[in-house]
Amino acid sequence: MIIKSLARVTYQEIFIALQKGEIIAYPTDTIYGLGADIFNQTAVEKLFEIKGRDASKTFSLLYFDLKKVRKDFDRLTDYEKQFIQLFLPGPVTLVLRTQYENQFPNPFIKKGFAGIRVLHHFALNRLMANFPNPITSTSINPLTQIAQIIDAGPMKNKRASTVLQVHRDNYTILRESAVSKQEIERKLQAL
């Protein structure tokens, strides 16, 4: 396991680790996360094993810029697009309708929806901006079989992201955490 500060890690090191199917740990705007290239089946299987997670549960997708999210989710309603505008980047996971069947591998889609994160973490987003795929977004527990840890020190927000499932014209809070229901409603009322 290699631990490097965010200031010293290079894109090439992370890119090579992800290409080789290794798992990385990275800072987020909430808690540390575990990442693997979503299109590397071996890495994703390894992540399920590390997490001890049932294969029926999904992982969220981590994007490093909004342009790629808008490109991959270009058929959303105006209502759904407003959630992207209001809550991303930030400590929220948006569960959005996928644009077509098999848009992403099975471990990332459930009933036609996929969880999406874009971090409010400029240094990490800049570092990873050229990686061609989203990576997994899941919390870092436990700390085993990780190739690289990108260390940014202690996280200020020790709570996981809030998870919102966004439908064509309404939403459901699946997990209230880093962003409260009141904050969500306040942002939506400002539209």
Domain ranges in the chain? Answer: 2-189
Q: Check whether 152 has a pLDDT greater than 60.
A: yes
pLDDT confidence of residue 113: 96
Closest CA to 32 of 104, 124, 110, 113: 124
Where does the pLDDT of residue 53 fall: very low under 50, low under 70, confident under 90, or very high at 90 and above? confident
More confident residue, 117 or 6: 117
Counts of helices then strands in the chain (DSSP H, E): 6, 10
Q: Check whether 59 has a pLDDT greater than 90.
A: yes
> In this structure, which topology does domain 2-189 adopt according to CATH?
DHBP synthase (3.90.870)
Alpha-carbon span 10 to 103, nearest angstrom:
30
Give me the chain's average pLDDT, please.
Answer: 89
Q: Check whether 38 has a pLDDT greater than 60.
A: yes
In the chain the first and final C-alpha atoms are separated, in Å, by: 46
Mean pLDDT to the nearest integer, 25-38: 90
pTM for the model stands at 0.88
